[in-house]
Structure 1
Amino acid sequence: MKRVDIVIAAHNPQRRIDRAVSSIVNGNPEARAVVVCHNTSISSITATLDPVLVEGTTFLELNDSIPSPSGPFMFGMRQSKAEYVSIMGSDDQLEPGAVAAWLELADRYSADSVITRLTRGESRTLVRSPAARPWARGILDVYRDRLPYRSAPLGLIRRTALETLQLELTPGARNGGDLEFVSRLWSGGRVVYQKSGPGYVEMADADDRVTHVAKPVTEELAPLTGLLSSAWFSEQTKRTRRALAVKAYRRTVVDTIIKRPRVEDWSAEDLSTLAQIAAALHRIGISPFLSLAESRLLAAVMNSRVADFSAGVAAAKKYRSPAAIGGTHPLSWASPIGSFRYTVASALMR
């Protein structure tokens, strides 16, 4: 038995699953490729692969008629008996030696999770998250190392942590299904970050990812609403709740606005849902950590001033502007999750 099972969800025989499987079989011998054929037959997927790749891969079948990656990923991880599990997009790939690098870190620090070094596309553009402290080594902290900004559990997960930390991808979610999963893992597990070496490459050459399909805001943000209203979230420390909430505003809320650049893209229901979520984040106490531009955008969202959304996002992301770097509260400058230190730490990532 190999130490790592890497679960790939395959629902479309037209996708480049051969690239993902080959990167495991041919470049990472410490791992086993486990392909969950989701709402499609095993034969339809194996027909697209070289026989050598088929021989070196385990295939499972899940028919649940639900267009969500949560189901096949959890199905594959629960079937595993390996020491560690991992999930992988069917379009993506691992660099040769990535799994060995992860295992070395996991063994050195007795980690529950190793967050992989993540790059995108053929150009291997570095994904600047999490913006951990540059000097930090070993086990990281959810607040001081800004772990919530890594929104997908890519890398290694100790299989037993699925039960001990009660990790589950949100059933049925077409996007954001990993939000509560990583929130629990980053907050409660022993987590390390792979800052260098071979890692995970996220590709973007498929046009049918369910997470990219436009959806009503209520559905799109349902995982965030579920997290904020969960018993688990209410039991966390104030610093953990704020670390998660600040990230949710900067990424989840702002990304929702970016997807809808025109006033006519917003329905009354969409605006109401977004305003309610923004108000909930405000009550958690995110405002002191925000830059001046982020604070102005938050006020526009809470009051559904849709005409101000696009300009507000542009101002918040203009990182060379003083208004986008710091706010009026000292915490926006001094806190690890404040706008100033977050911006600097992101810029320092190499």
Structure 2
Amino acid sequence: MSQSIDVVIPVHSAARPLSRALASVLSQKAELTALGVELRTTVVCHNIAVEEMQASIAEALATDDAVTWLPCHDGGTSPAGPRNAALAASTATFLSFLDSDDHLEPGSLAAWWRTARDNDAAAVIAPLRKPEGDILRTPRIRPSMPAVLDPVRDGLAYRSLPFGLLRRHALTNCGFGYAEDIPIGEDLETTLKLWFRGGRIAYPYGAPAYCQTDDAGTDRVTSTLRPLADEFQWLDAMVQSPWLRQAPLRERRTIALKLMRIHGIGALLRRGTGDGPDEVGVWSPSEQAAWLQISRSLRDMAGGELPALSRKDAQLCREAAKADSTEELRAAVVRHSGAGRVGELLTDNPLAVVSRDSVLRHYVLEVLRTRKGVFALR
């Protein structure tokens, strides 16, 4: 067969629902074969014996000739190691990453492959079904539903997970790889590089989805509240990345704005919404100093300012920079939550209120996206 898809499933515990993930892939073999596409599946056993994982699932799945069992013993907890091991080992035309607690809907791989074929795409961004059952409304695709997405105009920065179908030679050409020396955020910078520098990016409108679940358990690495300096360690490398430093201002600004809105404001809200006593280490002068550095880095990335940041988000950023205790941060978060529609819709710079990245513009486009069925399924 001239084309092949390798679905990579990293797994580190026999308690994970690997059978469901694996079955959701292998059940699509016949459909892909009819299209002339070979299906491969690589199960990366991360710091766990291959035999232990094989014994935890049905024999028919464990012995399927489409499955390769790849050991990865790096002693770490980050999913970057096993993903990079699979990247290095694979020879397939396309790769698709699947978390062991998630699964694919029937017909998804064939639908994504057709989209990649028809658009000569370097990557196809998968429709992502959330645990609640609806489809994640990112990227922020224009209501015109373009066949090939524009990184800025279609808000690709707002999809930070590289789930879908990724052409292997495009990954190689743009230097795609997961950061192995940081505790979380290992995929943020490399995914942005793929969306902005990897080539033609497509979205398979109406196609079956990648399904996320709530079955990860309590051992998910990102569930722990860490010091800000650790949580944003990925940012240090990102701001020094040559491709981003050389990017046009409009790209750097849209990326920095997304990082501030989703990761920066999100980090402040997680630390400022607790109902219990002032936990040691939640917010302190050292956390305040870390926030100052994070905020400065994001604004530098954006050319010195984030004009489309909402009034309430901008105010929270400024108040966090002055807060030296959890009590002060929580008071700032209360004011943020009570800012109302004016604080949410108006921008820190009044001239940016109808700019492409403003909240007001996003809400208007959300209505149009719904009417056009951008994120509707067949």
Asked if Structure 1 and Structure 2 have the same fold, meaning a TM-score greater than 0.5 normalized by the shorter chain, the answer is yes
Matched, 1:166 2:175: yes
Pairs within 5 Å for 1:1-350: 3-27=4-28, 29=30, 30=32, 31-56=39-64, 57-121=67-131, 123-188=132-197, 189-207=199-217, 208-260=219-271, 261-262=273-274, 264=279, 265-283=282-300, 284=302, 285-304=304-323, 306-315=329-338, 321-327=341-347, 329=349, 332-346=352-366, 348-349=369-370, 350=375
1:346, distance to aligned residue in structure 2 (A): 4.2
**Residue 67 of structure 1 contacts residue 172 of structure 1 at CA under 8 Å; is this kept in 2?**
no
1:286, distance to aligned residue in structure 2 (A): 4.4
Q: Percent identity?
A: 31
**Residue 133 of structure 1 contacts residue 144 of structure 1 at CA under 8 Å; is this kept in 2?**
yes
1:333, distance to aligned residue in structure 2 (A): 2.8
Helix, strand or coil at the partner of 1:334:
coil
Point out the more displaced range, 129-138 or 301-310.
Answer: 301-310
* Runs of at least 5 residues in structure 1 that lack an aligned partner in the other structure: none
1:219, distance to aligned residue in structure 2 (A): 1.2
1:213, distance to aligned residue in structure 2 (A): 2.4
Aligned partners of 2:343, 2:154: CA distance in 1, in Å? 23
> Given residue 28 of structure 2, which amino acid in structure 1 is its aligned partner?
G
Aligned partners of 2:133, 2:91: CA distance in 1, in Å? 32
Aligned partners of 1:315, 1:100: CA distance in 2, in Å? 47
Aligned partners of 2:342, 2:205: CA distance in 1, in Å? 29
Q: Given the superposition, is the C-alpha separation of residues 145 and 219 from structure 1 closer, same or farther in structure 2, using an over 3 Å criterion?
A: same
Aligned partners of 1:243, 1:47: CA distance in 2, in Å? 47
Q: Given the superposition, is the C-alpha separation of residues 303 and 287 from structure 1 closer, same or farther in structure 2, using an over 3 Å criterion?
A: farther
Aligned partners of 2:351, 2:4: CA distance in 1, in Å? 43
> Given residue 296 of structure 1, which amino acid in structure 2 is its aligned partner?
Q
Helix, strand or coil at the partner of 1:289:
coil
> Given residue 44 of structure 2, which amino acid in structure 1 is its aligned partner?
V
1:127, distance to aligned residue in structure 2 (A): 1.2
Helix, strand or coil at the partner of 1:153:
coil
**Residue 28 of structure 1 contacts residue 98 of structure 1 at CA under 8 Å; is this kept in 2?**
no
CA distances 1:257-307 after superposition (whole Å, capped 9, x unpaired): 232224542133222212211122223244211122122122223333524
Aligned partners of 1:13, 1:300: CA distance in 2, in Å? 45
**Residue 35 of structure 1 contacts residue 59 of structure 1 at CA under 8 Å; is this kept in 2?**
yes
**Residue 24 of structure 2 contacts residue 105 of structure 2 at CA under 8 Å; is this kept in 1?**
yes
Q: Which entry has the higher C-alpha Rg, 1 or 2?
A: 2
Point out the more displaced range, 27-36 or 1-10.
Answer: 27-36
TM-score, normalised relative to structure 1: 0.92
Q: Given the superposition, is the C-alpha separation of residues 51 and 170 from structure 1 closer, same or farther in structure 2, using an over 3 Å criterion?
A: same
Q: Given the superposition, is the C-alpha separation of residues 277 and 117 from structure 1 closer, same or farther in structure 2, using an over 3 Å criterion?
A: same
Helix, strand or coil at the partner of 2:184:
coil
Aligned partners of 2:208, 2:305: CA distance in 1, in Å? 35
Aligned partners of 1:238, 1:282: CA distance in 2, in Å? 12
CA distances 1:295-347 after superposition (whole Å, capped 9, x unpaired): 2122223333524442255257x6xx122012253553332222222233345
CA distances 1:226-270 after superposition (whole Å, capped 9, x unpaired): 212323321111111111100000111122123222454213322
CA distances 1:15-57 after superposition (whole Å, capped 9, x unpaired): 1111111100113553322100000110111111111111222
Superposed CA RMSD in Å reads 2.0
Point out the more displaced range, 71-80 or 280-289.
Answer: 280-289
Point out the more displaced range, 179-188 or 169-178.
Answer: 169-178
Point out the more displaced range, 244-253 or 171-180.
Answer: 171-180
Aligned partners of 2:11, 2:344: CA distance in 1, in Å? 41
Helix, strand or coil at the partner of 1:89:
coil
Aligned partners of 1:185, 1:313: CA distance in 2, in Å? 34
1:217, distance to aligned residue in structure 2 (A): 1.4
**Residue 69 of structure 1 contacts residue 174 of structure 1 at CA under 8 Å; is this kept in 2?**
no
Aligned partners of 2:91, 2:362: CA distance in 1, in Å? 38
CA distances 1:64-108 after superposition (whole Å, capped 9, x unpaired): 001100110111122111101111111000000001111111011
Q: Given the superposition, is the C-alpha separation of residues 311 and 66 from structure 1 closer, same or farther in structure 2, using an over 3 Å criterion?
A: same
When the two structures are aligned, how many residues end up with a matched partner?
A: 346
